[in-house]
Amino acid sequence: MERNTKNTITIANEQRKTLLIPGLPSPGFLLRVGFFILGGFFILIICCLGFRTALAEAASKMIILGFDGMDPQLMQKYMAAGMLPNFKKLAEIGDFKPLATTIPPQSPVAWATFITGQDPGGTNIYDFIARDPNTYLPYLSIGEICPPKKEVKIPLLKWVVPISKVEAKLYRKGKTFWEYLDEVSVPSTILQVPSNFPPVQHRGKSLSGMGTPDIIGTYGTFQFFTSKAGEGGAEQGGRVYKVEVKNNIIETEIQGPVNTFKEDRPISKIPLTIKLDPQNPIARLKFADQDLILKQGEWSKWLPFTFKMSFSKACGIGRFYLKEVRPEFQLYLSPINVDPRQPPFAISCPPEYSRELAEQIGLFHTVGIPEDTWALNEGRLNEEEFLAQSEVSHKERLRMYRLELANLKKQKTGLLFCYFSATDTIQHMFTGYMDPEFPGYSQEKNKKYGQIIPELYQKMDQIVGETLKQMDPDTTLLILSDHGFTTYSRYFNLNTWLHQHGYLAFIDEYRRESGEFFENVDWKRTRAYALGLNALYINLKGREGQGIVDPSQKAALVEEIRQGLLSFRDPKNGRQVISYVDLPDKAYQGKYRQNAPDLIIGYSRGYRASWWTALGQAPRDLIGDNTTKWSGDHCIAGQLVPGIVLANKKIKVKDPAIIDLAPTILNEFKVGKKPGMSGRVIF
């Protein structure tokens, strides 16, 4: 907090002759001295009051709750039905409004804007997936784990000896609001905010969230062991291992990270022996020094997994779920999370904070997306099993939050942020059960799962109620979501559209598809391509590795593609598939704007880019029904899926946006808007 108060007192000294007794002050002098003393007394009072005011301002507190994906339409509906009394109370005390999101409305994009006060042109986060323009290959946009840069090879032993450390890189740009709070000595605790891995260093405490990888470096890869015939191999989000039952015994392996200390880069493994009870649906699992018994339908507690590398070890934690013993054996192993007690790379600030948290609340998920949506989507977990896993993650987050909420009460000033992911992941997987237009909808499923999302909102309402009871009267409470939600009923293969309209060419046209990561794309004849969920790029000469489009032709080509996409109608129902196509020069500011996609595709409600599009594929069919369990989404036109903002203060702007919140947070602590921030103060 900066205060710049200046007080100026001017006293005019007059030369006067007096006839009074020498050595005694004149009446005028006494009067002036009296006024001076009285004035000084009042100035002292004012200064003291000002000092007390300064202390009060410096002692302010703020609590921010981030409910990912919470939708304003559902919020209004449930509030009107009396289902959310605490949200309603907060809205009556302060305010509730829709919150404009980012373009595109993807979680890493929006949360990066929230924490920096800059749009994607300033954060350099435009999609979950970014691309190397030289190779056209994708990488995760938030950050990644990089192997040691320096190493020495020992050919005789086939070893690779690192002489530098594994490095975690954060690709998000822009300074966070809590770094600015550091500068005015306001302590902050940031619990699992997305787009902050590895966590930026600051004086407070933080635990990284979305973007934090599992032990093998992915956003979460499960392992599934089954005796079913025809099973085995990689699938979306997981690895499936075919096992054989001999005399009620299974011998298999748990796979870990690549051993980079060996020349051939083998995958590290832990032997796993499973003994089945011959009569009862029970299995005994033995690996390393672990020995546990599971009943069919039972989850294990958190278990340690130590993968031995040549010169070190990688420590993780995971949970088993015994899905079935007979007639077919089926065992699920969650993504192996980084062990918060001994992470191989920083997942918290300070580094020891993750260990201290585990000591106080027990082990917890560290992977950025704890709910295993892919396991549900692939049928490795059913809805009840997925919800049980989600509940464990939610309770872990609550324990963290309650611990730090109690710590905040002991402080004179400070900020606490806590992120809740279940509102996003559960809506992804259960929205279709509420919408009769979703291809997989049925009355039976609606009866069984149609209340999951309303109950989820009620669960968050309880957190709000608990917070209102626990927080100090002068604390500012701010609640937000990064975007809303809608049904994802129909997919669109954007690269297929580009191929059909002559913008993307195949090497072998007889294959009629591209293969993964543009495998069959002829770059010498390709003018445009799509990668990620909302991004489309021009194959620009001088920028792309095999670019053919002259920069002078780019604007005309962009407009041609934009008009073509906006005019496309779904042959099934005549609806407009793409509502908006934004251009970076109009959508973004900031010095990283040149890294933006050339067109940002904004799908209509009910539509979304296919999973194949996200990975640079062009399948044969152009558009079709979404038959997966991933039935809800938000990666459409940002104008159509705003988030929410609630506070215990009145919101003065009519159309608050997520980009406004960082300057608003700083203003609560009397810190002015910082360079690069383009938002407004909403209170």
Reported as a single tens digit per residue, the pLDDT across 206-239 is 999 999 999 999 999 999 999 999 999 989 999 9
pLDDT exceeds cutoff 90 at 11: no
The overall average pLDDT reported for the chain is 90
For 136-178, write each residue's pLDDT tens digit: 999 999 998 877 776 777 776 666 776 667 778 999 999 999 9
Asked if residue 47 has pLDDT above 50, the reply is: no
Q: Worst-scoring range by mean pLDDT, 24-28, 327-331, 628-632?
A: 24-28
pLDDT for 62: 98
Q: pTM higher than 0.85, yes or no?
A: yes
User: What is the model's pLDDT at position 558?
Assistant: 98
Q: Which of 441, 372, 410 is nearest to 625 (CA)?
A: 441
Dist CA 566 CA 584 (whole Å): 17
What architecture does CATH give domain 59-125+172-212+368-485+641-683? 3-Layer(aba) Sandwich (3.40)
* Pairwise pLDDT comparison (426 vs 310), residue with the higher score: 426
The answer to whether the beta carbons of residues 161 and 312 sit under 8 Å apart is no
Q: What is the pLDDT of residues 100-123, one digit of tens each?
A: 999 999 999 999 999 999 999 999
Helix, strand, coil distribution of the chain in percent, nearest 5: 30, 25, 45
Q: What is the mean pLDDT of residues 537-551?
A: 98
> pLDDT per residue over 588-643, tens digit each?
999 999 999 999 999 999 999 999 999 999 999 999 999 999 999 999 999 999 99
Confidence of residue 563 (pLDDT cuts 50, 70, 90): very high
Residues 6+ apart with CB under 8 A from 351: 343
Which residues, 6+ apart, have CB-to-CB distance to 496 below 8 Å?
Answer: 618, 619, 620, 621, 622
d(CA 436, CA 438): 6
Flag whether pLDDT at 262 surpasses 90: no
The per-residue pLDDT for 53 is: 37
Return the domain boundaries, the chain: 59-125+172-212+368-485+641-683, 489-638
pLDDT above 70 as % of the chain: 90
- Please check whether residue 680 is in contact with residue 99, taking contact to mean a CB–CB distance below 8 angstroms: no
Q: Give pLDDT tens digits for 425-462.
A: 999 999 999 999 999 999 999 999 999 999 999 999 99
- Give the model's pLDDT for residue 155: 75
Say what the pLDDT of residue 157 is.
60
d(CA 357, CA 330): 33
Question: Which pLDDT belongs to residue 406?
Answer: 98
pLDDT in tens, 642-655: 999 999 999 999 99
